[in-house]
Each structure stands twice: as structure tokens, then as C-alpha cells.
Amino acid sequence: MQPEASLPLKLDIENAREVIVFAPHPDDECIGCGGILALLAQQSAVDIKVVLITNGDGGANSPEPDMGPRRENEMRKALSILGIQNLECLHYPDGRFELNDEFISRIDSILTSFNPKWVLLPSPIDYHKDHLLASNAISSQCLHHQNIEKLIFYETWCPVPATHTLDITDVMNVKVKALQQHESAMKYGDYVRCITALNTYRGLYLGFDRYAEAFLVHQLKDSQRGEFPLTKIIELGIYLKKLLS
């Protein structure tokens, strides 16, 4: 007999404390998890750190030479609207990001110094190569840090197989305002329209007139670190990377 299907669970953020967010590019933090960040920032007990992985310069064929510094400044403005000030920028090449020992070492150092309980990171089945590589490497490194309780994968270019949703109706306007600070990215895509549509669709899980963000949440228990579903999801992400490379 097949098990009965069920809707994603509601993500409880009341007990969140130290939360770190890894964003491959400026605007990923708003698109994928701007709502949860705005809600977490309202809780005085929560310490939030955001790590920007690439320099956001648009890659080797960027039409504007100052794109990187401008997008970093736009991200700081966006985070300020969300209520977050702690941003660390790693400045790896945008669109040309590659994994190496130095990156793994920096991630390990960041996780050790900040000592988060929750880690938000890109979906390991995302379509963007930078997202795939970063998600794979960071999630694997998180397995070695016993203090981490949850890996929370957010969606950007590809919807996640959602295990949890979060009602962001009360802060949807804040999320949109923060996203609008990414003016450079807005020249190349109607991100406000797209993310409003996605969060409206995800809100169907909660009833009428709701906005929601969806996540794939992996609870890291000492006896299950690296077991299904995380290992299988990472394997799928690696397979997708090979298809896209």
C-alpha cells in the first residue's frame, strides 16, 4: 500500500539562534530566503550572518566593468532592509567558480568561528553551476560540524522538493523592497514578478491569500549525518552538474 501524500510541514523558526546563509551571488539571498531572513531578523535572540561567495561581476562577459562592487553595495542595502548587517564577501569569480582546497578551508573556518545551528544554502539540484558546486561543497563540510542542527536548502533557479514551508505574508513587502535594491540584476530579469509568483504558488499550501517560501530541510542528527536524503540529493546535484558542464 502506497503511503498517503502530505503537504510540506510548516517550518518553526521560534527556536532559531545562530543562522548562517550562503549566497552564491548578490540577490540569491532575497530570491531564495528573503522572507525567512526578514522574520528571523525580528527575533532578538537570533544572530544572522550572510556569506556572499562570488564577486557578482557577471562573469567574463560582463557588459559593465564596475558590476562587482556595485552589486555588493546593492546587496548590503538589501540586507539592511531585511534587518541584517553581518555580511562577509569571499569574492570568488562569478560564473567561473571552481571548488578547491582553499575554498573548503575558508568554509570550514567560517563555520568554526560563527558556529551556526542552522545553515541556509542553495538547492543541490539548482540549474546554476555556481549554486550546484557551492551547495555540494558546503553541505558536505557541514557534516563535520557537530553544532549544526539543520541544513535548509532554498530555491532560486529550480524549485526544491519541499519538505517545509514558511508563511512570509507579513514580510512579503519587505522582501520585495529588498529585492528591488538589486537594480543591476533587475536590468536582466523581472525578478520581482517571478518571485512574487513563486511565493504565491508556495502560499497555496497555507490557504488563501498567503505568501510562502519553500525549503528542503535536512535535520542533522549525530546518528544520521550524511544519510538519506542528503546523500542522495547531493548525488543528484553532482549528476546535474555533469549534464550542465
- Residue 18 main-chain phi, psi, to 5 deg: -90, 120
pLDDT at residue 233, as a whole number: 64
Q: Specify which of 95-104, 218-227, 231-240 reaches the highest per-range mean pLDDT.
A: 95-104
Mean pLDDT, residues 123-142:
90
pLDDT at residue 228, as a whole number: 46
Spell out the domains of the chain, with CATH numbers in brackets: 11-244 (3.40.50.10320)
pLDDT bin (cut points 50, 70, 90) of residue 39 is very high
User: Taking the model in full, what pTM does it have?
Assistant: 0.90
Return the sign of the alpha-carbon dihedral for residues 72, 98, 241, 215. Answer: negative
| CB distance 203 to 169 below 8 Å | yes
**133 Cα distance to chain centroid:** 13
* pLDDT at residue 227 greater than cutoff 60: no
pLDDT bin (cut points 50, 70, 90) of residue 229 is low
Mean pLDDT, residues 49-74:
85
* pLDDT at residue 214 greater than cutoff 80: yes
64-93 exposure pattern, b = at least 16 Cβ within 10 A, e = fewer: eeebbebbbebbbebbebbbbeebebbebe
pLDDT bin (cut points 50, 70, 90) of residue 232 is low
Mean pLDDT, residues 76-100:
94
| CB distance 51 to 20 below 8 Å | yes
Look up residue 109 and give its three cell numbers. 573556518
* pLDDT at residue 223 greater than cutoff 70: no
pLDDT bin (cut points 50, 70, 90) of residue 12 is very high
pLDDT at residue 1, as a whole number: 44
d(CA 218, CA 150): 6
Comparing 126-140, 198-212, 223-237, the range with the smallest average pLDDT is 223-237
Mean pLDDT, residues 111-139:
93
